[in-house]
Structure formats: structure tokens, C-alpha cells
Amino acid sequence: MRLEGKVAAITGAASGFGESAARRFVAEGAKVVLGDIQEEAGNRVAAELGDSAIFIPCNVTKEEDIANLVDSAVAQFGKLDIMFNNAGIVGAVGPISTTPADEWKFTVDILLNGVFYGCKHAARVMGPQGSGSIISMASTAGLMGGLGPHAYAAAKHAVVGLTKNVGAELAGNGIRVNAIAAASMATPMVAAVLTGDPGDLAGTREKLAAASPLHGRAGLPEDVANAALWLASDESGYTTG
């Protein structure tokens, strides 16, 4: 019960890292508001989690949707302690000389602007509380070159920079801001890239395990969920930026 009494909002919560984190958070005592554009899957996950979770349709490219997600947490559960900016896509792919500008902008809109909106509206309600934990998904592609498509890498680098800056600002309000830089993990998004089938998680695990620095051990959504759990809990109370 490491999150007992805490309230969390998670974007991209209907699958992958977000779903895994939602289940882990509820198991540890939290109330969770799930946000996603996948309404059927989101409602299913919320139903399986019972009274500890609600689903709110949320398109992270729309600021009003994220504002509503945050406000719904406060209205339903009385406060917001944890904001997990998780929603993501692979986005625009291909050589820089042929990357379509509209696909570039759409990728950045989801991966960077969605995180900005999440930080903004979480800070709006956490500031008066004087406490809170904002967690965002970065990537190893946000720390090094050559590990992801150009738009994805640029946006994830920006998430790292935004995390450091917002962490510096909000530390004085008792709000911690951190990011998780995951490698390729066995999620539907990665499965679509590696196997062409977002549902082929078993095949994805096999491929990732073969290439993993930890021999035979693929990265799993639960690994990210456990990292998010630590950052969401009071155990990481002196960790920010």
C-alpha cells in the first residue's frame, strides 16, 4: 500500500505502460483516473479496477482534454497527487530529407505538447496543495542519437529538458518532477514496429530478449510501472529534476 490515500491521473492508460501503471497504482492503494483515446479499452480497464478507477476520454493534443482529466480527478477523488504523462506514439519515420512536416508536427504535438499540458494542469492543482509528483515518459532516444526516428528523438530530448526546467521551478512548491527513459519495451507500440502486429507481445518479447543487454530478459511494461510507482511514492521524496 505504498500509494494509499493518493490520487493519480494517467494519460495513455488503456494499454502498454499506462495500463500497467494504473493496475500497479491501484494495487498499491491509489485512486486512478485513466485518460486515453481508446475508449473501449479504457472503459474495460477501469471496470476491471472497480471503484478505485474511472475512465475519461482524453486526446493529449487537446489542452482542454488534459485540463478535464485533472479536474475530473479532483472532482471524483478530491485531489491530485500524481500525474503520469505517458501517452505516446512512434510517429513520423524516415530520412530527414523526406519526413512530412504534418507528420512531424503531429508527433511533437503528442509526445511534447501533451507532456507540457500535463505538467501545466497538474501544477495548477498541486501548487496550492504544496505537494505532488509529476512523471513523464522520456526514452533512451531522448538521451542519445540514432535510437529512434527524428521526430520521436527530438520530442523525447525535449521532454528531458522540460522535466529539468519544470522540476527546478516547482521544487519550491514541494512538487517533484521526473522522467523515465525506457529502452524498447514489450508494448503494443513496439510490437507494431518489430512484428507488424501490435498484439504480438510474445513475439516482441522474444525479439527484445535476444537483443537485450541483460541476456534473455526483455524489458516489460511492468518494469516501467515499477519505476513510476517509486517516483509516485514518498520513497522518492528527495528525487526531482
Q: Which of 152, 184, 207, 233 is catalytic?
A: 152
C-alpha cell at 208: 527484445
Degrees to nearest 5, angle at CA 166 with 110 and 62: 25
> Annotated catalytic, 31?
no
Residues in a beta bridge with 53: 32
Residue 183 near residue 140 (C-beta atoms within 8 A): yes
> Annotated catalytic, 238?
no
Residue 136 near residue 118 (C-beta atoms within 8 A): yes
Q: Which of 72, 133, 136, 139 is catalytic?
A: 139
Residue 146 CB contacts under 8 Å (≥ 6 apart), including other chains? none
Q: Which of 136, 156, 207, 233 is catalytic?
A: 156
Integer Cα distance of 65 and 184 in angstroms = 28
Q: Please list the active-site residues.
A: 139, 152, 156
